Amino acid sequence: MAFNGLQPASGPFTLMPGAQMRVIMWYGDPNDNTTGQDQGAQWIMANPLANGQPPTELVVSDHSKILGYSIATITENGPPQYGYDPSSAYYNYGVTVTNWGSSSTSFNIQGGGNT
């Protein structure tokens, strides 16, 4: 599944020179129990916006696939025991973006599944 131009509702991401940030994305509505389905391997690329800003280079690294659960249990009487409901599993995808350019830059993300 491909995606292009993903960014926060408030506008594109912005990075100062030499700065880095972790970007996490998922498919669907995060408040919907059916969201976060496993989409297989996903490639995420930082897309610098051609809006009159100086030339830049954005580097992506540390691609990850994150498994989480919306329902967990902890037993408190005695040693803690943790349990997770497999039916509540969801997946997010992450990447670290670093600005190797000499100026601040705005960007969004694009990518999709490795086929």
pLDDT > 90? residue 36:
no
Domain extent at residue 28: 3-113
pTM of structure: 0.82
Residue 35 is predicted with a pLDDT of: 62
Model pLDDT for residues 40-70, shown as the tens digit of each residue: 888 999 999 988 788 899 999 999 999 887 7
pLDDT digits (tens, 9 = 90+) for 1-30: 788 898 888 999 999 999 999 999 887 665
Domain count, the chain: 1
CA distances from 60 to 20, 23, 39, 40, 64 (A): 9, 10, 20, 19, 11
C-alpha–C-alpha distance, residues 102 and 6, integer Å: 24
pLDDT bracket for residue 95 (50, 70, 90): very high
